[in-house]
Structure 1
Amino acid sequence: MSSSPNERPSSARPRIAVFAGPTATILNTPDLVTSNKARTRHGLPVGPERFDMLRPQRLARPVTVYVEAFSAHPLEADASDLYAPPDGWLDSDGGFHDERPSGPAIPVFAIELLPEDGLYPLPYMARQLDGSAWEEAGADPVASRQTFLPDARRLYEEIERLGVSDLGVPVELTSRADFEFFRAAPSGGYTTGADGERAGRDFFSYYPYHLQSEPGLNHLAHVTNRVQGVLDTGSFSGVQWLEGSPTIEETLYWLGLLIDTHVPIVGHTAQRRHGSTSADGDRNIVDGVKYIASEIALGNDGDDQVGAVVIVDELAYTARDVTKVDARPGGYEVAGGHGGIVADLGGYGPPQLTFRPARNHTHCSHVRLPELPTEVQGVTGSLDGGIAITAVKTKDENGLVPDAMPVVTLTKYGRYALAQLGEDGVPSADDEIELFARINANLAQNALSGIVCEGMSPFAMAEPTKNAALSVAIYSGMPVVRVGRGNTGGMAYRTDPAFVSGNNLTATKARILLMAALLKLGALPPAKDPFRPTPAERRATAEAVIQYQELFDTH
């Protein structure tokens, strides 16, 4: 019988579920380029590089190598009086001697390398099918080898096998925790065989750039169900989620809202590929393991008190507040003007929690999976033909229904927009053709939908014509959230009872919360004529919007 998600694993040793997500630089590796050793062996033109790049590979059989003593550091020989004698010496002909021979000799260590030792950095010897050297990932613009790892198993092995801690010992991964690896909309896929996976359907990479693919709303539903299903076993002390840096803030906020769990959910990204110079993702992963294993996020009752976090650059940010601002290490900031950094992972000491967020999350979220109804009210029809209420089945025995996922789009305010007045002197929305096209498309195709308007900073207002068009959306059953552009600091006040105030959320975060709110509350009550709602219809909408506002005020 499996444990409840409310229970922590009975073992004192942490067990962490690691999910490989989409377009993840942290799971990406440099192109495998044929080494000069291979080029020389096969008579190919050699490259200009002084050294061959060494790539982690597995030995096929044991081999003994002789390593020159005192070659690990320029000052080793300076302290040679502190060392035990070497294993032997090599004479000028390369012969090995247990005792130092007469004449020139090199002190050496004899090392037996075994396949079971794990990966060793070695020159890459593979070539293309026609015998030519690999110069990049692809043989041609369409047929390309994948650079992304299919899951994080190999990544964690390389970090632990080849990484060196500050104190000269291996980095602590399996010495701190046990891991189980899962794929949820991963970055790399297995494309051969009868059940071969397909890019853009089963896995999502961005390199080579012209073959970039992105997961859709249905994949987000599958991800949610997958993560919840794994945590429902009660076997894990925490989750590590690996995704691309531009989008992880959205996914982690969503998981923090929807997933019902009492253990930490930790996200990681990288600005540089694994295996490249100063790969930041490796350190982020190690810090995430430290964060989960230390239990600093847990309260006295053993429950996570922080919610989903993104751990990068030795800091833990709440998923609700973090945003990427630049494509280099350190390129993350807190949006909304308040708090956001909840833990420090730097230095030689243990992780330190700096504060606990006040917003609801995971096991206390009002939009977590068990709290969502199986059916809500949606809307269908058209602005010209009329709008009807329809039932939408949003949840079944497998979790979220992918085809019922809400569609929430963004619109943005900018001064000097095309604007005009109607015959009655009231601003006319006739020129907001994009918004009206979206409203009609939603009514025809998406029974659950909404809009986020990124208005002026910080109060979130937009031009009158856009407001007029958004009002049509609201009285068509689509909630509209107002947020300010930039770092608003929470000044997107509620100035109109028909609109939801997004407080200090960015537009992308407000979109995530509105999607969750639609799964919880369903569509707003539509007016018979969305262009001219009656006073009673306005009151009904305002009352329904209050429920949305409560979620935005607390999550």
Structure 2
Amino acid sequence: MTGLTPTGGTRPRIAVFAGPTATILNTPDLVTSNKARTRHGLAPRPGRFDALRPQRLAAPVTAYVEAYSAHPLERDAAHLYAPPDGWLDTDGAFHTTQPTGDATPVFVVELHPDDGLYPLPYMGRQRDGSAWEEAATAPYAPSEAARQTFYPDARRLYEEIERFGLGDHGTPVEFGSIADFDFFRAAPSGGYTAGPDGERPGRDFFVYYPYHLQSEPHLGDLAGATNQVQAILAAGEHDGVQWLEGSPTVDETLYWLGLLIDTTVPLVGHAAQRRHHSLSADGDRNVVDGVKYIASGVALDAQGVDRVGACVIVDELVYTARDVTKVDARPGGYEVTGGHGGIVADLGGYGPPQLTYLPTRRHTARSQLRLTVLPKEVTGVAGSLESGVTLLGVATRDGDGLIPEAMPRVTITKYSRYAVEPGGDPQVGDEVEILARIRANLAAAPLAGFVCEGMSPFGMADPAKNLALGVAIFAGMPVVRTGRGDTGGMAYRTDPTFIVGNNLTATKARLLLMAALLKYGALPPATDPFRPTHAERAVTEQAVARYQALFDTH
């Protein structure tokens, strides 16, 4: 754990949030060991060894450990060692002096329940006495017949990292001497399901394993998590945040938090490509690096204010959340998007983290979209394309933060060449999905918009899609154009009624547009969204310019 010492005399306090579908909080299935199978007359599994799982002792145990067995060459250095604690003869009797004949030198270890977790064979069996072979009682069993593999929060994860993790020089990973931690659950991956107040999957917690039981958080869950993070940081008791989430989406959530959370402390996110306990589990190291980054103070300016913004820390690199995405399910499977910077610090080697550049985008306490300055009410739209679109007030924030029901609904649509039908009429051809979404938004989502992932880097689509999205704009729904794929250039400004997404990916542009809708509300609708007048177009262009300023700076 070289380089983890805090810069000041006081240990930092870190808030750790368990987020959704987080492989970093997931563990392999608890499979009944051969020790248990042999004890209960069950057929053993193939293989030489049992998998050892962290468990707690219920009573003290005296163990005799064969001396010089910790390394193949340890016996070669036996002359450098103090004498062993004793010897075991061939009958297993212990002697404090070396007996005649064959005897095994041993160290005597007293193991106690308060030592913490120990790796031991897993002895659990199913209720009917059969062995556990997977997480559920049978393949594709319903949730009530399945065990959970995700931890409900990160407390156990951090305990196991500290208990079993080794620093670079053979010493423990001593989290407790580096920082203090508070553990929270924000749309967590595991839930407490027993009892009358038991939590329900898909509502109170969100998993994706076993795969047939996958659930996903919704916009309301994002609002609740945002409010929770802001409330905890507003107390001023924490010096940093670690957010743990699934690897495909951790960058999106961190970008959102970097836009909305009003704070001066570092926000860092972690993910894993491999489950905790599995071979070469990468999440454990990512967590350690996050603690190292926060405790080092490298992200802070001379006034102690975070100068980097929300980051994703994986694979010994620190990425700005705005500029990173997962491209492959393997360690090292993250890349910088947008073609301009993105990696702000390096955590490799034995030294402390080093910043390589500072982002210029607005974030956290400098963001114009932070929760504390968003209006409590904005203007939305309702009605229909046939009878007309009207304005209405939408309450978006109260004393608890964001109102979940008011979260904007932003849809991503993707351009690809060779449309089903030619033509430039948005009411015909293959743009029925966009028009149907416009109508659904007017009926149920007063704050809504679109992101069009179009040509790279122009952001434009075919004429029919462009015209259909134009209907959305003049029905009050802003539309952002981004280049498809990992665009390395900036989307071009070809039509001032469209917002251009700079070098953002479509998923990041969606989040920024959601936040912008919470600040500025809907666009002014035209009397006939299919045929706006020149005056209505001019008013829309002025409204879009305010959105564009946010996309140019965040």
1:384 maps to what in 2? 386
Cα pair 1:419 1:428 within 8 Å, conserved: no
**Alignment gaps of 5+ in structure 1:** 1-8
2:38 maps to what in 1? 40
Shift of 1:372: 0.3
1:132 maps to what in 2? 130
Cα pair 2:388 2:528 within 8 Å, conserved: yes
Can you list the C-alpha shifts for 1:172-221, whole angstroms capped at 9, x where unaligned? 31121000000000000000111100000000000010010000000000
Cα pair 1:33 1:134 within 8 Å, conserved: yes
Shift of 1:487: 2.1
Shift of 1:427: 4.8
Please give the secondary structure, in 2, of the residue aligned with 1:182: strand
For residue 301 of structure 2, the aligned residue among 287, 296, 299 is 299
What amino acid is the match of 2:198?
G
Cα pair 1:420 1:428 within 8 Å, conserved: no
Shift of 1:12: 1.6
CA distance in 1, matches of 2:168, 2:9: 29
Instruction: Provide closer, same or farther for how the CA distance between residues 44 and 428 of structure 1 changes in structure 2, counting only shifts above 3 A.
Output: closer
1:98 maps to what in 2? 96
CA distance in 1, matches of 2:419, 2:457: 19
Can you list the C-alpha shifts for 1:71-121, whole angstroms capped at 9, x where unaligned? 000000011111110001111111111110111110000000010000000
CA distance in 1, matches of 2:314, 2:73: 34
For residue 69 of structure 2, the aligned residue among 68, 71, 84 is 71
What amino acid is the match of 2:54?
P
Can you list the C-alpha shifts for 1:12-61, whole angstroms capped at 9, x where unaligned? 21000000000000000000000000000000000101100000000001
Cα pair 1:176 1:293 within 8 Å, conserved: yes
CA distance in 1, matches of 2:166, 2:10: 26
What amino acid is the match of 2:482?
V
CA distance in 1, matches of 2:487, 2:302: 34
Cα pair 2:90 2:103 within 8 Å, conserved: yes
What pairs with 1:250-269 in structure 2 (closer than 5 Å)?
250-269=252-271
Cα pair 1:420 1:427 within 8 Å, conserved: no
Shift of 1:244: 0.1
> Number of paired residues?
543
CA distance in 2, matches of 1:346, 1:64: 40
CA distance in 2, matches of 1:391, 1:280: 47
Please give the secondary structure, in 2, of the residue aligned with 1:154: helix
Instruction: Provide closer, same or farther for how the CA distance between residues 86 and 19 of structure 1 changes in structure 2, counting only shifts above 3 A.
Output: same
What pairs with 1:114-129 in structure 2 (closer than 5 Å)?
114-129=112-127
1:370 maps to what in 2? 372
What amino acid is the match of 2:438?
I
Please give the secondary structure, in 2, of the residue aligned with 1:60: coil
2:3 maps to what in 1? none
What amino acid is the match of 1:465?
A
1:450 maps to what in 2? 449
CA distance in 1, matches of 2:264, 2:9: 16
1:88 maps to what in 2? 86
Please give the secondary structure, in 1, of the residue aligned with 2:98: coil
Please give the secondary structure, in 1, of the residue aligned with 2:436: helix
1:486 maps to what in 2? 485
Shift of 1:385: 1.4
What amino acid is the match of 2:483?
G
**TM-score scaled by length of structure 2:** 0.97
Can you list the C-alpha shifts for 1:226-267, whole angstroms capped at 9, x where unaligned? 000110110001000000001111100000000000000000
Shift of 1:420: 3.1
CA distance in 2, matches of 1:172, 1:430: 65
What pairs with 1:344-359 in structure 2 (closer than 5 Å)?
344-359=346-361
CA distance in 2, matches of 1:200, 1:10: 42
1:195 maps to what in 2? 197
Give percent identity, aligned residues only.
Answer: 72
1:232 aligns with 2:231: no
Cα pair 1:252 1:319 within 8 Å, conserved: yes
CA distance in 2, matches of 1:435, 1:530: 14
For residue 177 of structure 2, the aligned residue among 175, 178, 188 is 175
What amino acid is the match of 2:121?
P
Shift of 1:428: 4.5
For residue 331 of structure 2, the aligned residue among 329, 332, 337 is 329
What amino acid is the match of 1:472?
V
1:4 maps to what in 2? none
CA distance in 1, matches of 2:337, 2:425: 33
CA distance in 2, matches of 1:44, 1:164: 36
Cα pair 1:323 1:333 within 8 Å, conserved: yes
CA distance in 1, matches of 2:420, 2:55: 61
Cα pair 1:490 1:505 within 8 Å, conserved: no
Cα pair 1:268 1:281 within 8 Å, conserved: yes
CA distance in 1, matches of 2:394, 2:426: 33
Shift of 1:536: 0.9
Cα pair 1:185 1:203 within 8 Å, conserved: yes
Please give the secondary structure, in 2, of the residue aligned with 1:79: helix
CA distance in 1, matches of 2:176, 2:124: 31
CA distance in 1, matches of 2:321, 2:8: 28
Shift of 1:11: 7.3
Shift of 1:429: 4.3
Can you list the C-alpha shifts for 1:135-187, whole angstroms capped at 9, x where unaligned? 00001311100000000000000000011112101113112100000000000
CA distance in 2, matches of 1:438, 1:487: 26
Instruction: Provide closer, same or farther for how the CA distance between residues 130 and 428 of structure 1 changes in structure 2, counting only shifts above 3 A.
Output: closer
2:4 maps to what in 1? none
CA distance in 2, matches of 1:490, 1:16: 37
Cα pair 1:172 1:286 within 8 Å, conserved: no
Shift of 1:366: 0.2
Please give the secondary structure, in 2, of the residue aligned with 1:338: coil
Shift of 1:494: 1.1
What amino acid is the match of 2:132?
W
For residue 246 of structure 2, the aligned residue among 238, 244, 247 is 244
Instruction: Provide closer, same or farther for how the CA distance between residues 395 and 428 of structure 1 changes in structure 2, counting only shifts above 3 A.
Output: closer
Cα pair 2:457 2:492 within 8 Å, conserved: no
Instruction: Provide closer, same or farther for how the CA distance between residues 11 and 184 of structure 1 changes in structure 2, counting only shifts above 3 A.
Output: farther
1:5 maps to what in 2? none
Q: Which has the higher mean CA deviation after the structures are superposed, 315-324 or 11-20?
A: 11-20
1:500 maps to what in 2? 499
Cα pair 1:271 1:329 within 8 Å, conserved: yes
1:471 aligns with 2:470: yes
Can you list the C-alpha shifts for 1:456-512, whole angstroms capped at 9, x where unaligned? 112111101100000000000000000001222232021101000001000000000
Cα pair 2:490 2:501 within 8 Å, conserved: no
